[in-house]
Amino acid sequence: METRSAKKKRLLKTENETETGEDWISDLPDAVLHHILFLLPIKSIAQTSVLSKRWRSIWSSFPDLDFTTTTNSVGHFSSTIIKYSSTRKRVHSPLAQGVDFIIPVLALRDKNSDLRILRFCAQLSFSRLNSLIRCAVRRNVQEFDIEVATDDYFNLPRCVTTCESLRVFKLKSRYPGFRLPPLSIMKSGFQSLHTLSLSLVILYQQSSLVDLFTESSFPLLKKLSLDACFGLKNLKVGCRGLEDLTLENCFQLNDLNILGGKLERLRVASCFDAYSSNSLVKIEAPRLKIILWEYNAITESSCLENLNSLHEASVGFFVLHDDITVTKRWSISNFLTGLSHVESLTLESQCVEILSKNKHFTSVLNPFNKLKTLELRTGFNKHNIPALACLFRSSSNLHTLIIKIANDYKIERRQWNRELWDLSNSGEEQYWDLQSQALKFFLHNLKVVKIQGFSECENDISLAKFLLKHGKVLEEMIICPGHYNSRDTHRRERIKSQMMEFSRASSNAKIAFQ
């Protein structure tokens, strides 16, 4: 037990140390200080270099250089670097524009200090960019993330592909873009890379990347993102360790073949040649959990195999005109059939419109036996109803149905008529009632319905009435009126009260208006 005298001596010692101003922070190991400084903007980190010799060494060995935080304060940051440079090596370089100050920063680093992260965003010449890239490679950079704009096309320096320390490489080029090294160089490089992201790549001389992303190339690659690959027509991705693949804005793509034993997430957006007569997509990924197919042109052929682990899928198509060939309609059906194991499915409006015009759709669609959540974005016109009924029949175990109605003001939709409902003469209402037996399993499992963009039109109300009337276990129906309906508050309130009077198969069913 501590005596009174010992306690008094300890307190006096602590007080004396406080008065002398002993710097406890500076005594921390370099790795700990680096971790603390990583939370600050690089300008603030550079300013610490003027505190003492100890802090100058911390700055000169700091491994994470993120110059994207200096966008609004380049001049002030540059003056800090000049001040520090003059105290050490008297390096005087013009740092007025762009990221010219980055090279002096790299030059002032300790010879044995490597770079863990280097990020910058700038407009500069290719020679300056080339110098920065080579300097970073010499510093054994591990994560290299740059966004650049140059006066002309530039070639990606080959030293990047052979950098053994590189783990993450992200190059986002603004106009006019860049070219890749020859495929032979690309295939033999990037052996340590696990993340690759390229944007605005000029591939007119290398229109096919079939032989690049193979099992032997990129052995450690886990995440791949390709954006705006101009001239790319054929792409095959078969990296054995790939888990996440993103492909965007490849408008000339004609052939996409994905074979991923470990692929878990796939996003393809705004791709494929809409005028091609022999385009195709083939995907085989047994571990795929998420597929986002957004605003893509319809291919002539679709083949999705072994997607047995699929949890979430979103499907949308870009259509140039209403005249869709028979082969493309079959392609869409085959695409959806490949998603039959999905648990959560979203279909965009164009997709629903296309399915509504496909007469063979109802006979070829495989059941979605695992589907629990279905989200449909549709104009909800009269000709859409058979396609919606088909989707409901194929979703026998559905728990939640979300319908987002995109109202097209160019199309007239028949408004509600109370007397018409009471006499049950509505064509839409009669159609749904005739489907009650075919939709038995769907109606016996559905618990939550949410309709967004709800209007006083016959289609909307007929479906809501049908689901209330036949939904055996329905617990909640959420109605979200469209914004344009707010102009007639009295009419909307009247419809609310009348909907509350609809018969309900489930005593637990509640209607909520939002």
pLDDT tens track, the chain, 514 positions: 566 666 655 665 555 544 555 556 666 776 777 776 776 777 777 777 666 666 776 777 788 888 887 654 333 434 444 343 443 333 333 323 456 677 777 777 777 788 999 999 888 888 889 989 999 999 999 999 999 988 888 999 999 999 999 999 999 998 889 999 998 888 888 999 999 999 999 999 888 898 899 888 899 999 999 999 999 999 999 999 999 999 999 999 999 999 999 999 999 999 999 988 899 999 999 999 999 999 999 999 999 999 999 999 999 998 877 667 888 888 988 999 999 999 999 999 888 888 887 766 666 678 999 999 999 998 887 788 888 999 999 999 999 999 998 865 445 455 545 544 443 456 778 889 899 999 999 999 999 999 998 877 888 888 999 999 999 999 999 999 876 555 567 777 887 888 888 999 999 999 999 8
Q: What is the pTM for the complete model shown?
A: 0.83
Q: 184 exposed, middle or buried (CB, 10 Å; 0-12, 13-18, 19+)?
A: exposed
Q: Does the CA dihedral 121-124-179-175 come out positive or negative?
A: positive
Q: What is the DSSP string of 489-507?
A: HHHHHHHHHHHTTS--S-T
Q: For residue 476, is it within any domain?
A: yes
Would you say 197 and 169 are in contact if contact means Cβ atoms under 8 Å apart?
A: yes
**Residue 140, by phi and psi: left (phi above 0), alpha (psi -120 to 50) or beta?**
left
Beta-carbon contacts of residue 422 (< 8 Å; ≥ 6 apart): none
Alpha carbon distance 222, 382 (integer Å): 46
Tokens of 193: 């890379």
CA-based radius of gyration for the chain: 31
**In 213-298, alpha helices (H):** none
Q: For residue 378, is it within any domain?
A: yes
Tokens of 262: 């470990």
Q: For residue 433, is it within any domain?
A: yes
Detail the DSSP E strand segments found in 440-501.
Answer: 448-454, 476-481
Tokens of 362: 């109802």
Alpha carbon distance 469, 145 (integer Å): 57
Would you say 146 and 173 are in contact if contact means Cβ atoms under 8 Å apart?
A: no
Beta-carbon contacts of residue 433 (< 8 Å; ≥ 6 apart): 424, 466
**Residue 129, by phi and psi: left (phi above 0), alpha (psi -120 to 50) or beta?**
alpha
Q: For residue 417, is it within any domain?
A: yes
DSSP, collapsed to helix, strand or coil, labels residue 490 as helix
Total domains present in the chain: 1
Q: For residue 300, is it within any domain?
A: no
Q: For residue 429, is it within any domain?
A: yes
Residue 408's Cβ-side half-sphere holds a number of Cα atoms within 13 Å equal to: 12
Q: For residue 66, is it within any domain?
A: no
Beta-carbon contacts of residue 462 (< 8 Å; ≥ 6 apart): 426, 428, 429, 432
Q: Does the CA dihedral 182-187-191-196 come out positive or negative?
A: positive
- Angle formed at CA 193 by CA 187 and CA 198, multiple of 5 degrees: 75
Alpha carbon distance 395, 440 (integer Å): 11
Q: Are strands 208-213 and 178-179 parallel, antiparallel or unpaired?
A: unpaired
Q: Are strands 301-305 and 344-347 parallel, antiparallel or unpaired?
A: unpaired
Q: For residue 418, is it within any domain?
A: yes
Residue 118: name the closest of 67, 43, 53 by CA.
67
Alpha carbon distance 434, 439 (integer Å): 10
Supply the range of the domain harboring residue 442: 367-514
Residue 248: name the closest of 269, 234, 230 by CA.
269
